[in-house]
Structure 1
Amino acid sequence: MKVRWVAVARQDRADIVDYIAVENPRAALKTDKLFSEATGKPGDFPMLSRMGKIPGTHEFIPHESYRLVCEVDEAANRAWVLALVHTARQWPPTQED
């Protein structure tokens, strides 16, 4: 199964890695590697994830502080990473966000 990151999720990832790198570049690289490894999970084992808080999505926790939100289309053999969210943030976002 092919896994694609949508633009917003790619930006989420870049922002997280950049933020961590300010204080600890090594930790930023390690965290980004976790995100890379986690993207294989939706493609390899989409039904092993938990059902997402938004209908039609699946969620993975690649790190205790981050939630990776995906949409899986088994018929198209494709998964999209829709968001990468810190677990302390409100998810799903409220209407005002």
Structure 2
Amino acid sequence: MTLQVVWTQTARLDLLEIIRYIAERSPGAARTIKNAIQAAPQSAAIAPYLYRHGRIPGTREIVVHPNYVVIYAVETDRIEVLNVLHARQCYPFV
């Protein structure tokens, strides 16, 4: 069974901020990273426990690119994307 992927408002804003920053320098790279980040949770929807445990209990992390991490939680009926971070950012306290 494939779970539904739900993005929190915080995660959507994180992604938007990252893409805007990259697009100022390289619109093509911004599209590539955006597509990769948006697609990453789909594999977690199929295999929710495939990725490593998060630094905060109850979360998991997908390293999308050496610089970007998607933080999510596995709920009974969905994957909830909580944050998208640059690897050098301070880890959020979800």
Aligned to 1:17: 19
Aligned to 1:78: 78
Alpha-carbon offset, residue 2 of structure 1? 0.2
Which of 16, 26, 29 pairs up with 1:27? 29
Alpha-carbon offset, residue 92 of structure 1? 3.9
SS in 2 for 1:47: coil
Alpha-carbon offset, residue 37 of structure 1? 1.5
Gap runs ≥5 in structure 1: none
Q: Normalising by the residue count of structure 1, what TM-score does the alignment of the two structures yield?
A: 0.89
Alignment of 1:43-82 (within 5 A): 43-73=45-75, 76-82=76-82
Q: Distance in 2 between matches of 1:70 and 1:27?
A: 24
Paired residue total: 91
Alpha-carbon offset, residue 7 of structure 1? 0.1
Aligned to 1:39: 41
Deviations for 1:32-61, whole angstroms, at most 9, x for unmatched residues?
010121020221111111010000001100
- Identity across aligned pairs (percent)? 33
Query: What RMSD in Å do the two structures reach over aligned CA positions?
Result: 1.0
